[in-house]
């Protein structure tokens, strides 16, 4: 071997010796750390860890149990193989593969740093590699994961066994402010609702999703699925929100909790509402109620005249809170009464501010009646104002004080002139004297004596205001509902007005599709008829009959001057399908069928098809009996018209 060959050999040998020494340093540092971790020797693990790793992942403070948390991460055990070492300033990044012999090994990346106190190298962090769905590798810090898992341990223990200050100390400032406002019984109710009754378990198998400053952890305990939202504040994970889903036999009377923030806000608002109500504090009530509810139900109310059930005397088992999409129902029950407070989340709350709820309605079940505060305080006053407006034919006030359904079916179809045509003889123009009031939740029925007649005003509570939905009165041969009677009569009056004003469009819009097809669609103007309907249709209402809910027959006037009108319901509105105009008792000489008469007039003497000679409205029988019998008193079979729930959705 020549000199040059010997030199090259010595250089290669020296390099291998240096590399071997370096790998020995990393191997020794990592092996010792892994050995102490497997032995669960906390003091020795902290000696082999940097101060940062020791504080984040292996704290000495209770109730932390770092080795229980570390098992959740399932770090590999076995033979260590150093795959790569990179210097980063004074620190080193070491890529290692660890695993049992003859089994697949897993990759860990260690950051090791020199310890100034001992002079030894220590582990500063460990990174677990995970393969994502895209096939790319992602590395997660064990220190950060352990820090989160220890926060979950703290939540699991403190929220079951800790005191008030410990619980608040585990929360973000936003959640802590909400929880701090709760009295001890309410805070205890929240903690019990989250974890159930009994001591906290040391065993847990959480699943976590982490971002840089936020995390979401889900776990199961005592028949509950618990989801905890965390925020990272100065290196510490704090509880920002909790959701609880309860299933199976564990449910009982316990409700799911979609958000602890919402639950705390609801309990805080209900407590403030009760204190302001009992103290007759109107400004305090305005702060915690929606504007519509305060103005409609509370602003002018004599609160002392209707005390609501006490909340502080009811144990937690008789209290419940349901929260769904920003709406909450708080319910308490005692031996005799039930109190329900409905709240709505304030949409104007800033993003990082504590959530706020406002009371939108209050209902008391008492004496077998469902009493809403709006009805208790304002129903009679609203009824009196409505009655006066009806007597004055004040259409604007009637429209404002009515439900959407009443407005749509009656008042919006009238004018200040046509409102005087309504058949209101059954409702005397005298001040009503209340005789009885029945509360049925959203509906309130006030029975009054009005001109020696029993009249019932049906009212609905909508956003704290009382709206009239109908007036019921005793009647013979016609509906006992003002809403349904008016709904039937308005198209008749409008049809008559169309003839009187020579307004074909007004006539057509109040006619059925069939009558339009056979008559008005063939006209440019109202044809000149030998007999005009206007005078007949202005005669007083005699009776109303129906063969089915969509076909109605109305008899007006008497045998000397009147009409029999057939109406069909199309597109939720009654429309005239035909009528018989009467100006004498002789059916052949003194009575005219409108549809046939119009067709004959339009034909101007031309031959009319046979099918047009005798026309009977669809769904009706040909009537030959006297439309004005001496005795009228049979039931009409027409029930009070009630709109769908959507018809009563008011928008302030």
- pLDDT tens digit sequence for 77-87: 999 999 999 99
Asked if 17-131 and 146-257 have one fold, the answer is: yes
Q: Which CATH number fits domain 263-366: 3.40.50, 3.10.450, 3.40.630, 3.90.1690?
A: 3.10.450
Comparing CA positions, the residue from 107, 166, 182 lying closest to residue 139 is 107
Please tell me whether residue 182 adopts helix, strand or coil conformation. coil
Comparing CA positions, the residue from 328, 357, 339 lying closest to residue 256 is 328
- Is residue 311 over pLDDT 50? yes
Question: What burial class does residue 199 get, using C-beta atoms within 10 Å of its C-beta: 0-12 exposed, 13-18 middle, 19+ buried?
Answer: exposed
- pLDDT tens digit sequence for 590-642: 788 888 888 888 876 433 344 333 444 444 444 444 555 543 333 333 334 44
- Is residue 89 over pLDDT 60? yes
pLDDT at res. 11 = 42
Percent of the chain with pLDDT over 70: 84
pLDDT at res. 640 = 42
Contact 290, 358 (CB under 8 A): yes
Read off φ and ψ for residue 443, nearest 5 degrees.
-95, 140
pLDDT at res. 250 = 44
Question: pLDDT: is 282 or 636 the higher one?
Answer: 282
Read off φ and ψ for residue 563, nearest 5 degrees.
-165, 150
Percent of the chain with pLDDT over 90: 52
pLDDT at res. 204 = 61
Burial of 53-67, coded b for 16+ CB within 10 Å and e otherwise, reads bbbbbbeeeeebbbe
pTM higher than 0.85 for the full model? no
- pLDDT tens digit sequence for 364-408: 998 889 999 989 998 999 999 999 999 999 999 999 999 999 999
Contacts 24+ apart (CB under 8 A), 576-579: 576/491, 576/492, 576/495, 576/510, 576/511, 576/512, 576/515, 577/511, 577/512, 577/514, 577/515, 577/617, 577/618, 578/515, 578/615, 578/616, 578/617, 579/533, 579/536, 579/537
pLDDT at res. 352 = 67
Token pair belonging to 434 = 């209340």
- Is residue 14 over pLDDT 70? no
User: What confidence tier does 49 reach under pLDDT thresholds 50, 70, 90?
Assistant: very high
Token pair belonging to 13 = 């040998």
- Domain chopping of the chain, boundaries: 17-131, 146-257, 263-366, 375-474, 507-613
- Sign of the C-alpha dihedral computed for residues 491, 495, 501 and 503 taken in this order: positive
User: What confidence tier does 351 reach under pLDDT thresholds 50, 70, 90?
Assistant: low
- pLDDT tens digit sequence for 298-308: 998 999 999 98
Question: What burial class does residue 531 get, using C-beta atoms within 10 Å of its C-beta: 0-12 exposed, 13-18 middle, 19+ buried?
Answer: middle
Question: What burial class does residue 394 get, using C-beta atoms within 10 Å of its C-beta: 0-12 exposed, 13-18 middle, 19+ buried?
Answer: middle
Question: pLDDT: is 317 or 526 the higher one?
Answer: 526
d(CA 254, CA 248): 11
Contact 569, 587 (CB under 8 A): no
3-state SS of 24-78 is: HHHHHHHHHHHHHHHHCCHHHHHHCECHHHHHHHCCCCCCCCHHHHHHHHCCCCC
- pLDDT tens digit sequence for 505-538: 999 999 999 999 988 988 888 888 878 888 999 9
Question: pLDDT: is 189 or 358 the higher one?
Answer: 358
Read off φ and ψ for residue 241, nearest 5 degrees.
-165, 160
- pLDDT tens digit sequence for 436-454: 999 998 899 999 999 888 9
d(CA 511, CA 304): 55
Question: What burial class does residue 211 get, using C-beta atoms within 10 Å of its C-beta: 0-12 exposed, 13-18 middle, 19+ buried?
Answer: exposed
d(CA 648, CA 281): 31
Burial of 12-26, coded b for 16+ CB within 10 Å and e otherwise, reads eeeeeeeeeeeeeeb
d(CA 380, CA 402): 14
* Least reliable range by pLDDT among 73-77, 343-347, 563-567, 644-648: 644-648
* Least reliable range by pLDDT among 95-104, 190-199, 330-339, 499-508: 190-199
- Is residue 5 over pLDDT 70? no
Contact 304, 313 (CB under 8 A): no
- Is residue 463 over pLDDT 90? no
Q: Over range 294-301, report the average pLDDT.
A: 90
d(CA 180, CA 58): 30
**146-257: CATH number:** 3.10.450
User: What confidence tier does 235 reach under pLDDT thresholds 50, 70, 90?
Assistant: confident
Contact 408, 647 (CB under 8 A): yes
User: 375-474: what fold?
Assistant: Nuclear Transport Factor 2; Chain: A, (3.10.450)
Q: Establish how many alpha carbons lie within 13 A of residue 432's alpha carbon, considering only the half-sphere containing its beta carbon.
A: 27
What's the farthest any 2 CA atoms get from each other in the chain? 147
d(CA 152, CA 507): 75
Average pLDDT, the chain: 84
**17-131: CATH number:** 3.10.450
Strand order in the sheet with 106-114: 79-88, 91-99, 106-114, 121-131, 137-141
Per DSSP, 606 falls in state P
* Least reliable range by pLDDT among 100-114, 198-212, 270-284, 318-332: 198-212
Helix (H) or strand (E) holding 545: strand 541-548
Angle between helices 184-195 and 260-278 (to 10 degrees): 150
Q: Over range 482-497, report the average pLDDT.
A: 94
pLDDT at res. 629 = 55
- Sign of the C-alpha dihedral computed for residues 400, 401, 405 and 408 taken in this order: negative
């Amino acid at each position: 071997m020549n000199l040059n060959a010997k030199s090259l050999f010595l250089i290669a040998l020296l390099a291998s010796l240096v590399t071997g020494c370096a790998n020995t340093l990393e191997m020794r540092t990592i092996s010792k750390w892994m050995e102490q971790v497997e032995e669960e020797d906390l003091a020795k693990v902290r000696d082999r860890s940097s101060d940062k790793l020791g504080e984040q992942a292996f704290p000495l403070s209770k109730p932390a149990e770092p080795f229980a948390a570390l098992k959740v991460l399932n770090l590999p055990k076995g033979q260590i193989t150093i795959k790569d070492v990179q210097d980063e300033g004074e620190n080193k990044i070491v890529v290692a593969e660890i695993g049992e012999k003859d089994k697949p090994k897993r990759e860990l990346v260690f950051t090791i740093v020199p310890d100034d106190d001992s002079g030894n190298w220590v582990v500063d962090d460990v990174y677990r590699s995970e393969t994502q769905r895209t096939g790319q590798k992602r590395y997660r810090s064990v220190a950060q994961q352990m820090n989160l898992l220890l926060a979950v341990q703290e939540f699991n223990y403190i929220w079951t066994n800790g005191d008030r200050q410990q619980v608040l100390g585990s929360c973000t400032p936003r959640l802590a402010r909400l929880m701090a406002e709760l009295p001890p019984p309410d805070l205890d109710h929240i903690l019990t609702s989250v974890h159930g009754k009994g001591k906290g378990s040391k065993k847990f198998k959480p699943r976590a999703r982490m971002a840089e400053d936020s995390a979401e952890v889900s776990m199961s305990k005592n028949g509950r699925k618990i989801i905890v939202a965390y925020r990272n504040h100065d290196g510490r994970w704090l509880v920002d929100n909790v959701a609880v889903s309860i299933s199976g036999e564990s449910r009982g009377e316990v409700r799911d909790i979609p958000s602890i923030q919402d639950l705390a806000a609801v309990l805080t608002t209900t407590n403030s509402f009760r204190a302001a109500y009992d103290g007759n504090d109107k400004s305090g009530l305005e702060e915690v109620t929606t504007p519509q509810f305060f103005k409609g139900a509370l602003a002018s109310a004599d609160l002392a005249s209707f005390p609501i059930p006490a909340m502080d005397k009811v144990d937690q088992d008789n209290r419940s809170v349901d929260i769904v999409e920003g709406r909450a129902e708080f319910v308490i029950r005692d031996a005799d009464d039930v109190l329900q407070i409905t709240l709505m989340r304030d949409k104007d709350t800033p993003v990082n501010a504590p959530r706020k709820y406002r009371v939108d309605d209050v209902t008391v079940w008492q004496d077998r009646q469902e009493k809403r505060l709006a009805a208790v305080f304002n129903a009679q006053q609203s009824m009196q104002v409505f009655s006066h407006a009806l007597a004055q034919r004040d259409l604007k006030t009637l429209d404002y004080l009515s439900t959407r359904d009443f407005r749509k079916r009656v008042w919006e179809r009238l004018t200040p002139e046509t409102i005087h045509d309504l058949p209101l003889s059954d409702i005397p123009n005298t001040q009503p004297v209340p005789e009885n009031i029945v509360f049925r939740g959203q509906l309130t029925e006030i029975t009054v004596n009005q001109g020696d007649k029993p009249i019932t005003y049906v009212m609905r509570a909508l956003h704290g205001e009382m709206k009239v939905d109908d007036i019921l009165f005793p009647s013979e041969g016609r509906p006992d509902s003002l809403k349904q009677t008016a709904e039937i009569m308005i198209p008749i009056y409008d049809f008559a007005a169309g003839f009187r004003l020579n307004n074909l469009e007004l006539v057509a819009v109040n006619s059925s599709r069939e009558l339009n097809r056979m008559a008005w669609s063939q006209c440019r103007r109202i044809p000149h008829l030998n007999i005009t309907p206007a005078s007949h249709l202005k005669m007083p209402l005699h009776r109303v009959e129906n063969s089915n809910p969509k076909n109605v027959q109305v008899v007006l006037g008497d045998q000397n001057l009147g009409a029999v009108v057939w109406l069909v319901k199309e597109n939720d509105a009654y429309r005239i399908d035909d009528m018989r105009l009467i100006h004498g008792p002789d059916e052949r000489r003194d009575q005219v069928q409108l549809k046939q008469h119009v067709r004959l007039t339009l034909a101007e003497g031309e031959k009319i098809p046979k099918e047009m000679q005798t026309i009977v409205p669809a769904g009706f029988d040909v009537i030959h009996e006297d439309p004005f019998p001496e005795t009228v008193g049979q039931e009409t079979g027409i029930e009070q018209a009630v709109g769908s729930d959507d018809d009563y959705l008011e928008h302030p």
